[in-house]
Amino acid sequence: MRRTIAIRIGILGFGLAACGAPDDPASDPSSLAEASVNLTVVPTGVQCVQVQVAVPSQTPVTKTVVVAPGSSSMSLALGQLPFGAATFSGSAFSVACASIGSSTPTWVSDPVQVNLRAGVVTSVEMTFRKNNPVSVNANFLDNVAEIVTGFAATYARMSDGTVKQWGATGPGSTFQSATLPLPVSGLSSVVQLAAGNGFACARKGDGTVSCWGFTPMGINSSTPVSVTLNGPALMIVAGNTHACVANDLSTIFCWGQNFSGQLGNGTTTNSTTPLMILDSSAQVFAGGDSTCAIRTSTGTGAIVSCWGNNLFGQLGIGNLTNPVTLPTTALFNTGTAKPAAGAVQVGPGTNGACALRADGVVLCSGNNFAGELGLGTFVNRSDFAPVVGLSDAMEIAVGEQHACALRRTGQIVCWGDNTFGQLGNGTGTNSNVPVPVPNVTGATGVRAGANHTCAPLGDLTVRCWGDNEFGQLGDGTHITRPTPVRVRLQ
């Protein structure tokens, strides 16, 4: 009798970015990485499972795991292995582990050859010959290189350059409500993602961009459609119904709906083709129906400019002029309102916005009905004011009426509306100051949809929490989660 078990091997290279794909997919065969096998064994009279890995010019690595009575999970550390070809074989024993050296295994697997690469999880299926099955279910690295959130959907760029999506990933005829991640067909070599309301875009390594869903080009497509750009894109972002790119000349191009002036060209006329907005802009950010850019200014450092919907003062320009159809300088107020200098990230949201300074201070502006500005009050602001008690932030994310920040410790804190549990602290109570998200450690980023939040972790897995009406948490359910759950990417 043959029994097949699947073992997943996690290979994490030294010196690699925790959530990044390897620079060279082929990898250097001389490089070493830590390898481990995490498996769940449901034996029938089996006491040990042994895995042997043979690589060229190296003594085979043999590891044995003891099956404790009643246990369901175990881990095999294989130590350092070089990238490149490897041959896996396995044995399962029904005798005492101490006697393995002189005992005949209950069954033996067929050898399987695989290629080990940095940051890549390889699935190794081993067929065992014998009567009793060993069922193996892996708990392993998910291989997420990037996570982005749309209005009610979530998208993952995998380490191999492919893309998965779940939640409400497209309106109209392309509408999907997937509770588990599904692959996006026709995409490879992707290096960056951006997502809006019912659409997403992918930037490839060659600077080309494709979008799918109800795209800003006015095309409703379930498969990616190429965007005609004026040169390679170095950065792509998306708001609810528009998208923008920055190119190697530090020029911004935006396209899509423009009813709030979010394209920044001085009009409210929609455009299905990218329009040039600014030059000398290092970075661009989009969210809701607004857009912001960080511009280099001599003598004052990086200056923030914003345009688009300003109904609640979310552009931080010091007034409620709406719409704002041209880039306008935002203001930071830490006692006196001054041009918003020293910013490294801006997070426009639906009704508010936040900015991150290089020193780790976060400032927010706009609607504050649910405390989403984090100021300890419920008073709206039309300029950016400091979030209470937050001076060590590394990244920010802004949703419809909540915001979150990644701290230098790897902890996530959130504030604002908590109707759907999007603050992740296990309650449904709003907070006008940052509250920590429990059970999330080693986070490497944070993303906010309209009413859900996700965080990629250093082990290449993802946790999400909040609204789950359309399956945007990726846990296989439609159950709202007030605390983080792991996305079922495999």
Distances (CA, A) of 95 to 39, 67, 104, 140: 20, 11, 9, 28
State both tokens at 183: 């692959």
What's at 401, amino acid-wise? Q
- Tell me, rounded to whole angstroms, the distance of Cα 355 from its chain centroid: 20
- Determine the Cα–Cα distance for residues 248 and 89; give it in Å rounded to an integer: 49
**What local confidence, expressed as pLDDT, does residue 89 receive?**
79
220-228 CB contacts, 8 Å cutoff, 24+ apart: 220/170, 220/171, 220/172, 220/173, 220/174, 221/174, 222/170, 222/174, 222/176, 223/184, 223/185, 223/186, 224/184, 224/186, 224/187, 227/201, 227/255, 227/274, 228/273, 228/274
Q: Specify whether the CB–CB gap between 312 and 351 falls below 8 A.
A: yes
Q: Do the beta carbons of residue 482 and residue 465 sit within 8 Å?
A: yes
Per the rule left: phi > 0, alpha: psi between -120 and 50, beta: everything else, 432 is alpha
Please report the domains of the chain, with CATH numbers, ordered by start residue.
2-138 (2.60.40), 144-486 (2.130.10.30)
**Gyration radius from the chain CA atoms:** 25
Q: How far is CA 124 from the centre of its chain?
A: 26
Reduced DSSP (H G I as helix, E B as strand, rest coil) percent helix, strand, coil of the chain, to 5 = 0, 50, 45
> Mean pLDDT, consecutive 10-residue segments, the chain of 490 residues?
55 35 36 61 62 79 72 66 76 63 62 70 64 37 85 92 90 66 93 95 96 94 94 95 89 96 97 88 91 77 91 97 96 91 93 95 98 98 97 96 96 98 97 96 94 91 94 92 88
In angstroms, the CA 277 to CA 326 distance is 8
Of 172, 167, 32, 171, give the one whose Cα is nearest residue 450.
167
Task: Give the distance, in angstroms, between the CA of residue 282 and the centroid of all CA atoms in the same chain.
Answer: 22
Joined together, the tokens standing for residue 230 give: 């004026």
Q: What is the pLDDT of residues 365-402, one digit of tens each?
A: 999 999 999 999 999 999 999 999 999 999 999 999 99
Is residue 124 within 8 A of residue 88, CB to CB? The reply is yes
Torsion (CA) 283, 350, 167, 437 in degrees, nearest 10 = 80
Structure tokens given for 69: 């009575």
Contact between residue 128 and residue 144 where contact means Cβ atoms under 8 Å apart: no
